[in-house]
Amino acid sequence: MARRDYLGSFELMVLMALIRLGDDAYGVPIAREIESHLDREVALGSVYATLSRLEERKLVTSELGDPTPERGGRAKRYFRITAKGIREARDTQTVLVRLWRDVPQLKGGSA
């Protein structure tokens, strides 16, 4: 059986944030999108570390924007999910849903 690397929970969150943000996905909005659902602070460094890992696995691509004075002359790095990334996210969701199903402790939000 071929070895498969399923996504970790934070990797999945980052991919979902990328899908939701579309073309405007760079560090700050990605972290904000995750924070708004997690209800706690997210380290931007962790977001970039995860994105760099996902990029290495070709699940996302990135390109540099123009440097802006607001950012001290530094460019934004925009990220976009690839078709492979969408496929991986869907596969991970399928596995999670399958595992979730028919577990009595997880029914009705009591656990």
Partner 1 sequence: MRRLALNEQRDPRGAPPPAATWLLARFGCGPAIESLAGDLVEEFHHGRSRAWYWRQTLAGIATSFAEDVIRHRLIVLQAILTGWTALFLFGWLLGDPMFEWLDTLAAARPMMPRVYPPMVVGSVGYVMCGWMIARLYRSHRAAAVIAFLACALVLQLPRLCDLVVDALGHPRYLPYLSGHLAGMILTIVSVLFGGFGLPCGRASKKIVEAD
List contacts with partner 1 (CB under 8 A): 26-28, 31, 35-36, 39-41, 43-46, 48-49, 51-53, 56, 64, 67-68, 70-72, 74-77
Q: At closest approach, how far in Å is the CB of 102 from partner 1?
A: 33
Q: Note whether 46 and 53 are within 8 A (CB).
A: no
Residue 61 phi/psi, 5-degree rounding, is -125, 160
State how far the Cα of 22 lies from the Cα of 30, in Å rounded to an integer.
10
Give the nearest distance from C-beta 61 to partner 1 in angstroms.
14
Rg of the Cα atoms in the chain: 16
Minimum CB distance to partner 1 smaller for 12 or for 48: 48
